[in-house]
Amino acid sequence: MGTIAVAFYETPWFKAALYVLIAFVAARLVDALLARRDRAMSKLLGKQPNSADRTRFLMVRRLLQIGILFVGIAVALTQFEVVGALARALLASAAILAGIVGIAARTPIANLVSGIMIAFSQPVRLGDYISIDGEYGTVEEIRLTYTYIRTLDNRRVVIPNEAFASKVVHNYSMGSPGSMVAVTFAVPESADVDTVRTAALEIADDLAPAPEGKANSVDVDDIRGKEVVLRVHAWAQDPIGRRDVASALRIALLRRLIADGVLGPERKDHDVD
């Protein structure tokens, strides 16, 4: 009787059943641990996750269960010579599929790695006022794959973390306090450029005085046709108020140019960028 029992334990059927059982138990255990972790996080945060988070978390649990059961069944099938080749092919296919998924998931993986880099190198931080791809806003949230900024018009912009590693990001809250604002405007070529530059610099120093060690400036930016384009660089003490400073500069410049006769009544519609 003992010989028969030992022989049964050594049969492919017993080993296959054992592998399937181990896989089933492992899948249930992993699912239970993840569910427990979900409840613990909800209790710690004092609120239930929203529908999007619950859906995402449930999908992860199901995928892990399916993956564990798939590997367990494939290993169990390798115990039978008849289907052993098929089982090995399934495992090989799973490895190939994992490689394909890895290639297809290059962007999410890159975003994840970039998110970790942001956490350590900190090119941007919570509360920083930044601009990227023409979007200006305050960093509201940094996640593993995406960073969220809140714009001045109360839009929430979602930026993939990979962008912080591949694109130019202006962080106006780091380094020196405040930041420079550039405003361009055009005057007729007949205008006294030196006088216009002096007037523009007076306006900049009055509306946006530069801190110690810094200075506002007015440069000739371009000459096009019958116009001379100048650019004013003024200092904004508060990065979030950059747009307000730029707007005030444009209004003051327009009024001064009209008052000085640089832009006559017939030229009041002249562009001041």
Mean pLDDT check: name the lowest of 91-95, 114-118, 246-250, 260-264.
91-95
> pLDDT grade, residue 105 (50/70/90)?
very low
> pLDDT grade, residue 252 (50/70/90)?
very high
| Per-residue pLDDT tens digits for 2-37 | 455 555 566 777 777 888 888 888 888 888 887 787
164, pLDDT greater than 70: yes
| Per-residue pLDDT tens digits for 214-234 | 788 898 888 888 889 999 988
User: Any residues with CB less than 8 A from the CB of 233 and at least 6 apart, and which?
Assistant: 180, 181, 182, 204, 216, 217, 218, 219
For residue 236, give the CATH number of its domain. 3.30.70.100
CB of 253 within 8 A of CB of 185?
Answer: yes
Q: Are 8 and 81 in a shared domain? A: yes
> pLDDT grade, residue 126 (50/70/90)?
confident
Is residue 123 assigned to a domain?
A: yes
Task: Please tell me the total count of domains within the chain.
Answer: 3
Q: Give the separation between CA 187 and CA 263, rounded to whole angstroms.
A: 7
Is residue 272 assigned to a domain?
A: no
| Domain coverage including residue 74 | 2-104
Paired residues of 182 in beta bridges: 233
Strand ranges across the sheet with 179-188:
179-188, 227-236, 217-224
Angle 51-77/81-104 helices, nearest 10 degrees? 150
Q: Are 211 and 136 in a shared domain? A: no
Fill in the DSSP letter of residue 185.
Answer: E
Q: Give the separation between CA 150 and CA 145, rounded to whole angstroms.
A: 17
Q: Are 93 and 18 in a shared domain? A: yes
Q: What's the pTM value of the predicted model, to 2 decimals? A: 0.46
Residue 88 has what pLDDT? 59
- Residues listed for the chain: 273
Asked which of 104, 123, 156 is the last residue of a domain, the reply is 104
